[in-house]
Structure formats: structure tokens, C-alpha cells
Amino acid sequence: MRERGGGDVSEVILGIGASQGRAVGPVRRVHWQLPAPPHRTIERSDTEREIARFNEARIWARERIRETREQTASTLGEVEANIFDPQILMLEDPELIQGTERYIRENLLSAERACDWRLTELRVAILDAAHLIIVDRLADLQDIRFRVLSRLAGGDEDPLLLPTEPGILVFEDLTPSVAVRLDPELALGLVSAAGSRSAHSAVLARSLGIPSVVGVGPELSRLPNGRMLMIDGGTGRLTLDPDPREIEAHGQMARRLSELRQHPGTQDPTPTYTADGERVYLRANIDQPGDVAAAKQVGAEGVGLFRSEFLVIGRRVIPSEEEQFVAYREVLGGFPDQQVTLRTFDIGGDKFPLFLEMPPEENPYLGWRAIRICLDLPDLFRNQLRAAIRAGGAKGRMRLLIPFVISEDEILRTREILDSVVEDVAGGTKVSLGVMVETPALAETLDIVARHLDFISLGTNDLTQYSLAVDRGNARLQHLADPLHPAMVRMYARVFETATAANLDIGVCGDLAADPVGLGLLLGLGFRDLSLAPQSIPEVRDLIEMVSTEVLREVCGDLSVPERVVGIRARLNEYLEATVPPETMTATS
């Protein structure tokens, strides 16, 4: 795709946004520096020596990973450190050890060749797996391969040379042990051909605050070394040779965010008003307690979406009630006077705990996941609810948000379990319960289920995916995932009208609010409570303060008229271009 701006032509490549934020800089391609193992056989008398060489390299690699885990725990936290546990377990797996030793004994292969063969077999088995989270283990396997083979080749260091100059780092695949070594001052942004938003390296990129785009595939070949590249880790958009206006707008926002980071914890929750005085709440989306600091730095008014999956992903043991309680209380402590909304476990799809026996599924995104798992495994669900209620749910400090709901029955069953837990933990105190409106079924039946709810949160990302039948994890289809499709615009309007009529609190927690046109639409439809990635809050606040909701309501108009709904993007663009300075539009788009 090519776009013209400022007299020059920019090339646009679409990937999958994995870590929010924007960055611009020269492309720095990163290549693995490890030769293929030599094709050599051994004498039968040398088999035990080769087995000993393999085990020494395996144990060496395991200890290096343990050191990396300890360093990660001290710098980023225990959640990120847990990412390395699967690698340690892989290196202790009898399938790897016995399979490699068998190739040495029976095929008389060298330790390097035998290990490489066995790892290749394990790689094929992973590729044949049905679950995306298992496929994501390819990066873990790559880490292991390079560490073990490097040691067998006589190396004492990781066989990867990272650039020493700032830029956008471009990888075929980014492994966790490389991601955790990245310096945000040099790694301005990350792009990879493989990967997903839930991959371990993407989790680490988010913790490090480095914008990241994954799933670019063969389009990676269009990113030559040294070319100027702008990336958007929210939308997955890559722009080769951006025009000077885009670069300058990015620079202004980057300097502002840098100033905020240099004064951690000093910004109080900041009320936001439109140009005509309408109050708008800007809350933060967070993945774990460690994200609270970034949310507070930008003046977030609480947490609109606290994702709880960090407690279970990659874990072989169900987290205890006490562990969850401590995590939830930490977030509440960061916002003592602000609203915090906890989303219950949204597992399944591309997020699988190791302690669950997940059935093979043709389409896991539409399979056994989220509230379906929680209702089928009530002990897991009760454990989380007890921890949340103890932490602050019973005092109205923490609201509970249920994902992937399609029916009244699911809400009633959830309410029954919740009421039982509340009675046991807090003597029957009412706890605020809401649902993510992210399926067309719920959007169309909200009037039926509203009486059982206290609030809703419009999940624009998944609602767009399921309504338009477009996989948001498929970079090739991103041009079809249009959140301003006429069907989506009308659906947002109906959801708002229905929830308002039912006197429900209404929030939005999708990426749509971080896009200038999407933000204009939401404000024009009446939405006033928005939850975003912390990095997006300052620029969105700037834009909100420049626009008039009264004018935006007129711009939206009567969406039942075909011409009005089809032309809404053009009308919003026209208003924003006449109202908002170009550098602000560029910085937020």
C-alpha cells in the first residue's frame, strides 16, 4: 500500500499491533549468528563422551536461563520472570534429553547434530499443534537451540549481536531472552515476521514500553537496513519513509512522554473536558500491577480494564487466592480514590494456562474460552472472585467485568456464583458486575440482559472482529477490520442507546478511542468513559480538549439514514481537519 504525504510517497505495511506506542527511526535488521551444526558422525567408542558434551551444554544453557530469569525478576518483576520457566522445563524434558541421547547412541551422531535433529522434531510437533499458545513456544525452542548449540560450538555468550545505534529492530522472530536484553534507548521499536500479541516476547516488549508490531510475514523483506520507518504498535501499521510532518509530530509527542517519565508518580488523576465543557473520563488499560506506574504518570483516572491473565498464562499451577489478592490490592493501592475494573480470566483463544487440559479446536477464538471456561470450572472462578472481593470488590473499589458473554444464562450463572462468594466473604454486600460487549449476540440482546448488570464496557476490537468475520490476528486482512464500517457504527449507537435507557454505566476499552476519527465518533455518539493504553492518554486528552461534542453530535446525525452512516468517516475527517492542528492529528493517527 502506498500513501502520498508532503509531496513524497510513503509505503504502508500492515502487521499486528503487539505493544502500544509509536516510534520512528532507521531500520536495524538483526540476524542470528550461529552456523548450522556440522554433518559428522562419531565412533561408537565416543558415544558417552558426546552424551556428556550434550548434557554439559544443556545444563549450562539451563543455568544461563535461570540467571536471566533472576535478572528479569529484579528489573521487571516476577510476572515477566515466569516467562522463562517453560524454557527451563524444556531443557529438563525427557523427550529432549532421551531423544538426543538415542540419536547419539543409535545413529552415531555428534552431540550438535543429534540435539539439532531432536529440536527440529519438537519444532515440527509444535507447528502441528492446534493451540496458538503452543505455536508461540517456537520462540522458546529457538532460544534453547541457540544457547545449547552455541555452547557445543565452544561459545560462552549468546550468539546474537544487537545493534549499538538507536533504531527500529527488525527480526524474523524475537525470542524472550533477546527481548529482555533490549535497551529502550536503542530499541526504539520492534518488528518481527512471526509472533502474536500474546507471545512471550510481546509481553516483555510491553513491560519495557517498547512499541512492537508482529506477524508481518514475508513483507519483512520490504524493510531494508537503514530505511526510515515509523511503526504504530497499537494498529500494527508500518510506514516506510514517513513524511517530515509525521516525523516532527512524533518527535513532539515523544518528548512530552519522555518528560512525563522523568517525573514518575507526580501527576494526579487529570480531569478532561471537551472544548464545550463536557466531562470525559480517561482510564488506563493495564496487563499487570507493574503497569500502574505508567498509568499514574499520564494522569489516568483509574483503571478501565485490568487484564488478569498474567496470573495464569504459562503457569502449571493455579494461582492461589492469596497471590491474586496481593496483585489486586496492589493495583487498588495505586488508585485509592479511583475506579478499578477487573476483567475476569479471559483465557482460551491465544491464551492458555499450562494447568488446563485444553481440547484441540479448529477455531479456538470461538471455542472453549473466557466465561465458558470459568463457568465450567467453578473452583477456578470462585478463587478469583474471592480474591477480588477481599481486595476491594465488597467496598465498591473494584468492579468485575465478564468477557465473551453471549447469553442471559451466562450472566445469571455468573451472578449466582458471585452472590454465593459475596455472602461467604463479605456478608452479602453488593458487588458491581458488568460485561464486555464484544459479541454481536450480546450487542443485539443488551436490552434483555441489562436488568442483571450494573455497567457495560464496549470492546471495539473483538466486536469488530466477530461482527465483520475478520481475524484480527491475520495481518493480510487488517484492511478489512474497519471499526467504522457502517454496521459497526450503527452497533455502537444502539449499544449506547440501550445501555443509557437501562441506566447502566457505559465505558469503552478498545483501540477505537485512540484513533482521532474513532474518538470523534465515540464522543459524537455520547460515550464519555474511555479506557486506553497509558501511552495513548496524553495525546487523546489533547485532542478531546480541542473538539466540541455538540458539533460532533451534529456530524454523526441520524445514522438510520444510509447516506449519513456511509459518509460519517468523511464528515468526521472534515471537522477534525478544520479544528485540530495537523501535528496533533498526525501524532494520534
Residues catalogued as catalytic: 200, 509
- Lay out the sheet containing 237-240: strands in order across: 2-5, 8-14, 237-240, 228-232, 22-29, 167-171, 187-192, 212-214, 16-19
Residue 328 half-sphere exposure toward CB, CA atoms < 13 A = 32
CA distance 488 to 463: 8
Q: Do 22 and 211 contact (CB within 8 A), yes or no?
A: yes
Residue type, 506: I
Q: Do 347 and 373 contact (CB within 8 A), yes or no?
A: yes
Which among 136, 122, 95, 114 has a CA at the least distance from the CA of 54? Answer: 114
CA 285 from chain centre, in angstroms, equals 10
Q: For 93, left (φ over 0), alpha (ψ -120 to 50), or beta?
A: beta
Q: Do 239 and 22 contact (CB within 8 A), yes or no?
A: no
Retrieve residue 342's grid coordinates.
477487573
Helix (H) / strand (E) containing 2: strand 2-5
Retrieve residue 141's grid coordinates.
525452542
Residue 399 forms beta bridges with which residues?
341
Residue type, 536: S
Question: CA separation (Å) from 105 to 247, 254, 352, 363, 528?
Answer: 59, 58, 37, 41, 68
Exposed e or buried b per residue across 508-547, where buried means at least 16 C-beta atoms within 10 angstroms of its C-beta: bbbbbbbbbbbbbbbbbbbbbbbbbbbbbbbbbbbbbeeb
Q: Do 544 and 497 contact (CB within 8 A), yes or no?
A: no
> How do strand 8-14 and strand 237-240 relate by DSSP bridges?
antiparallel
Residue type, 438: E
Using the Cα atoms of residue 126, residue 127, residue 130 and residue 133 in order, give the sign of their dihedral. positive
Helix axes 111-127, 47-75, angle to 10 degrees: 60
Q: Do 166 and 185 contact (CB within 8 A), yes or no?
A: yes
Question: CA separation (Å) from 265 to 268, 334, 486, 489?
Answer: 8, 10, 42, 37
Question: CA separation (Å) from 283 to 48, 186, 217, 507, 529?
Answer: 61, 30, 34, 10, 8
Counts for the chain of helices (H) and strands (E), in that order = 25, 18
